[in-house]
């Protein structure tokens, strides 16, 4: 009878341990990434961004996404990795704002 009680408790501990140990969720980073992509697309539609600016900003977003995937690869996104990703997103945000408001008029 003792074995029946021991086995389920071990199974519960084993199943719940990876969820506690592996913190790879980055909802704030993902949300900002989506918002920045939307801003770039809106800039393309409105003509605020030239094709070259849009390409450069898209490449920057791709780079941030690759950094995020690398951070998640080991199963844990450390506080340092989160800071680096947030810093990269801050720089991308600034670049998007500058590109959209550089008073370039296509007409």
Residue 102 has what pLDDT?
87
Query: Looking up tokens 């030239």, which residue turns up?
Result: 50
Residue 35 has what pLDDT?
97
Which pLDDT band holds residue 105 (cuts at 50, 70, 90)?
low
Sign of the torsion angle spanned by Cα atoms 61, 64, 66, 68: negative
Please determine, for residue 15, whether its predicted confidence score (pLDDT) is greater than 60.
no
The domain ranges of the chain are 23-100
Question: Which residues, in sequence order, are CB contacts of 92 under 8 Å at separation 6+?
Answer: 36, 57, 60, 61, 64
Residue 106 has what pLDDT?
52
38-91 pLDDT, tens digit each: 999 999 999 999 999 999 999 999 999 999 999 999 999 999 999 999 999 999
């Amino acid at each position: 009878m003792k074995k029946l009680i021991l086995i389920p408790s071990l199974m519960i501990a084993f199943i719940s341990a990876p969820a506690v140990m592996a913190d790879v969720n980055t909802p704030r980073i993902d949300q900002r990434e989506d918002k920045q992509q939307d801003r770039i697309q809106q800039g393309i539609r409105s003509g605020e961004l030239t094709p070259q600016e849009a390409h450069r900003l898209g490449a920057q977003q791709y780079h941030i996404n690759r950094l995020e995937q690398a951070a998640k690869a080991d199963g844990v996104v450390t506080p340092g990795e989160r800071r680096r990703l947030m810093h990269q997103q801050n720089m991308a945000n600034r670049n998007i704002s500058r590109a959209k408001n550089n008073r370039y008029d296509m007409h």
